[in-house]
Amino acid sequence: MGVSIDTPFAPSIDYSSVLATLQEVQSIIQKCLAAHDKLEASLRDLSRTGGIQTCKASRKSTDSLLKDLSKELRPLLLFLQSSPSASQISPKVLTFSTPSTHLLGYEKKSSGPDIENRIASQQQKIIALRQEVLGVPLEFWEAPTFQSIWDAIGETKEIDLDYRRVQVVVDGFKELIFETTLDFTGREYYEGEEVSVSLRYEKLFGYCKTCLSLCHKMEKCPLTTTSSEKKEIRD
């Protein structure tokens, strides 16, 4: 038997639909917040591990998920706006879903300018350099020796024993090290204790000799700027 829309049962039916819709909206908002948390976690890992490709993949999957959730959310909000039984709670639901709507615009508002800038910042900070190590005694030309040098200042990626060269990932904002010492005390066939070794870098573009950073030129160095400002004040 069909129920006319004018019968007393119509409000209860509409209320049930509103309740079910509210539950769907809540579920979508929770998924949006979870996606946001996952993306933020990947950005935090980026600064710790330098996994740029992993972060970009996370961003791509998050953008796709948020777009799909946006499509699911729109008809639910329209239904609540048009339903008489939801007239009092509809404005509150719209207000509550505003953060979710912001997240759904992540590609325009955050993924483009914000996330790309943060990734670019990390790409600048985490730099892969190739260095030549000079001064290591021939009898100690072995991978563990070279790795021990670079593990102290970065992450060793590749070792070329034939040419005494190492590829290492370093923090571009920290001072570069050009000289260090190796302790060979107790090693067989070696009477000395410590050996000074020189580290020669290849292609140091943008290197600042003032603070030994790779992330800005000398004329833009904070130390140089501060010194210039102090000089102007004295004058």
Cα dihedral sign, 148-151-153-159: positive
Q: How far apart are CA 233 and CA 226, in angstroms?
A: 11
pLDDT digits (tens, 9 = 90+) for 183-226: 766 555 455 567 777 777 666 656 677 766 665 566 667 676 54
Structural Rg of the chain based on CA atoms: 30
Domain assignment present for 182: yes
pTM across the whole model:
0.36
Q: What is the pLDDT of residue 2?
A: 41
If we measure between CA atoms, which residue out of 91, 115, 92, 89 comes closest to residue 103? 115
Question: Are residue 87 and residue 149 in the same domain, yes or no?
Answer: no
Lowest mean pLDDT among 3-12, 20-29, 69-78, 93-102: 3-12
Read off the pLDDT of residues 134-191 as tens digits, 9 standing for 90 and up.
666 666 677 777 777 767 777 777 777 776 677 777 766 667 777 777 776 655 545 5
Both structure tokens of 156: 């060793």
The CB-based long-range contact list for 201-210 (8 Å cut-off, 24+ gap) reads: 201/129, 201/130, 201/131, 201/176, 202/129, 202/130, 202/131, 202/132, 203/129, 203/130, 204/129, 204/176, 207/176
Q: Is residue 110 part of a domain?
A: no
Residue numbers of the domain that contains 179: 126-234
What does the DSSP 8-state code read for residue 142? S
C-beta contacts of 189-197 below 8 A and 24+ residues apart: 189/139, 190/137, 190/139, 190/140, 195/135, 195/136, 195/137, 196/135, 197/133, 197/134, 197/135, 197/136, 197/149
Asked if 100 and 177 sit in the same domain, the reply is no
User: In this structure, is residue 216 part of a structural domain?
Assistant: yes
Count of domains observed in the chain: 2
* 79 and 138 housed in the same domain: no
